[in-house]
């Protein structure tokens, strides 16, 4: 059987989590340093370790069948390439920023200004939409330094924690787009490889669903079970099993991590005791 070729960052912010999510799908990968290519011994897949900025072109050309890439880069370099799944990590935004001490009155402040960026297409599109004429300076890396060395009046770059902006005395004033890692596909993928990709997506989906969910177990007096069940936004109906102790049961269910704390408080108030919360590794609905 042919292998599907998946591009991932050779180095950079997506690298570690890209390897990690594939491993959590049960796919073994040899991620030895300085390797450009690695085949999985237990899934029909080959990893290509690529420079981040080259990945969109490799997708366009069909050199790789799919790739794990930031949606921001796809929008900038290959807006016609589609993705099959958001992967929930490397969340960031692409934003305009200006020196902290400068007043900001709105987008029109950028009229006639110099903007340094590695995202010229994204910036141009945004400016055009708002009828602003600015001078775009393309810089690949360390964009945030540009205003400090007099190269630009403002910048447009990725903001994640905001610490790079802070360190460079800049403030974020406009968010152009929000982004996260996605699994993008080449328009040239063969039908056979698409079938393998579907299997990979099935596994990724199970891993992502599990990541956002917790398995909870608790002991509940029998006369409180109905009330407790009402509080549980569970998968389907929760499992209820009698305990050795008379008039008590054990209730098990799955809840979304986001609901976690508010539900736990309500459950305690409703009489649940010995509440255990466990991570879920895979979840197939
Ligand atoms: C990106 C970006 C910013 C920084 C923002 O750089 O260019 O400099 O991250 O992140 P923060 O808001 O958490 O500080 P990255 O480290 O990915 O390297 P690169 O610029 O070489 O791609």
> Looking at residue 232, what is its pLDDT?
85
> Looking at residue 235, what is its pLDDT?
60
Is residue 65 in some structural domain?
yes
Pair 229, 266 in one domain: yes
Pair 76, 20 in one domain: yes
Pair 185, 247 in one domain: no
Pair 47, 101 in one domain: no
Query: pLDDT tens for residues 239-273?
Result: 999 999 999 999 999 988 778 787 888 899 999 99
Is residue 197 in some structural domain?
yes
Q: How many domains does the chain have?
A: 3
**pTM, to two decimals:** 0.87
Interatomic CA distance for residues 172 and 190, integer angstroms: 43
Pair 174, 273 in one domain: no
Pair 152, 273 in one domain: no
Confidence check: pLDDT of 33 > 70:
no
Nearest-atom number in ligand 1 for the CA of 162 is: 12
Interatomic CA distance for residues 262 and 274, integer angstroms: 17
Pair 58, 104 in one domain: no
* Strand, coil or helix: 251: strand
Q: Would the CB of 142 count as within 6 Å of ligand 1? A: no
> How close is the Cα of 111 to the center of ligand 1, in Å?
26
Average pLDDT for 112-118: 98
> Looking at residue 41, what is its pLDDT?
93
Is residue 284 in some structural domain?
no
Is residue 161 in some structural domain?
yes
Q: Would the CB of 163 count as within 6 Å of ligand 1? A: yes
Pair 25, 127 in one domain: no
Q: Would the CB of 161 count as within 6 Å of ligand 1? A: yes
Is residue 140 in some structural domain?
yes
Pair 121, 221 in one domain: no
Q: Which residue out of 14, 50, 164, 175 has the highest number of ligand 1 atoms within 8 Å of its CB and is therefore the one to mutate? A: 164
Q: What CATH number does residue 239 fall under? A: 3.30.70.120
Pair 17, 137 in one domain: no
Q: Which residue out of 142, 158, 175 has the highest number of ligand 1 atoms within 8 Å of its CB and is therefore the one to mutate? A: 158
Is residue 116 in some structural domain?
yes
Is residue 238 in some structural domain?
yes
Q: Would the CB of 71 count as within 6 Å of ligand 1? A: no
Number of neighbouring beta carbons within 10 Å of residue 223? 9
End-to-end, the C-alpha distance of the chain in Å comes to 29
Query: pLDDT tens for residues 157-215?
Result: 999 999 999 999 999 999 999 999 999 999 999 999 999 999 999 999 999 989 888 89
For residue 246, which of 267, 270, 219, 216 has the smallest C-alpha distance? 219
Q: Would the CB of 162 count as within 6 Å of ligand 1? A: yes
Pair 112, 47 in one domain: no
> How close is the Cα of 158 to the center of ligand 1, in Å?
6
Average pLDDT for 230-244: 84
DSSP symbol at 135: E
Pair 71, 193 in one domain: yes
Q: Which residue out of 91, 160, 167, 180 has the highest number of ligand 1 atoms within 8 Å of its CB and is therefore the one to mutate? A: 160
Is residue 261 in some structural domain?
yes
Query: pLDDT tens for residues 39-66?
Result: 999 999 999 999 999 999 999 999 999 9
Domain assignment of residue 56, given as a range: 4-90+180-210
> How close is the Cα of 17 to the center of ligand 1, in Å?
16
For residue 47, which of 75, 24, 66 has the smallest C-alpha distance? 66
Q: What CATH number does residue 203 fall under? A: 3.40.190.10
């Amino acid at each position: 059987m042919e292998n599907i070729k998946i591009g991932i960052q050779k180095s950079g912010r997506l690298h570690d989590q890209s390897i990690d999510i594939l491993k959590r799908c049960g796919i073994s990968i040899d991620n030895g340093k300085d390797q450009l290519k690695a085949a999985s011994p237990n899934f029909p897949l080959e990893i290509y370790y690529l420079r981040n900025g080259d990945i969109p072109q490799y997708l366009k050309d069909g050199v790789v069948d799919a790739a794990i890439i930031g949606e921001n880069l796809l929008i900038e370099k290959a807006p016609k390439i589609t993705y099959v799944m958001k992967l929930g990590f490397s969340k960031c935004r692409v934003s305009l920023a200006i020196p902290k001490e400068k007043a900001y009155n709105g987008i029109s402040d950028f009229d006639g200004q110099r903007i340094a960026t590695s995202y010229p297409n994204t910036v141009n599109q945004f400016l055009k939409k708002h009828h602003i004429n600015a001078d775009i300076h393309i810089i690949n890396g360390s964009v945030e330094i540009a205003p400090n060395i007099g190269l630009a009046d403002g910048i447009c770059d990725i903001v994640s924690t905001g610490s790079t902006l802070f360190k460079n005395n800049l403030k974020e004033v406009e968010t152009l787009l929000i982004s996260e890692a996605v699994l993008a596909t080449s328009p040239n993928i063969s039908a056979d490889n698409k079938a393998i990709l579907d299997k990979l997506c099935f596994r990724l989906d199970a891993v992502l669903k599990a990541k956002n969910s917790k398995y909870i177990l608790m002991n509940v007096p029998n006369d409180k079970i109905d009330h407790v069940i009402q509080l549980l936004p569970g998968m389907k109906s929760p499992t209820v099993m009698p305990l050795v102790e008379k008039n008590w049961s054990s209730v098990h269910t799955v809840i979304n991590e986001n609901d976690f704390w508010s539900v736990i408080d309500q459950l305690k108030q409703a009489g649940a005791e010995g509440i255990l919360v466990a991570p879920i590794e895979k979840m197939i609905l």
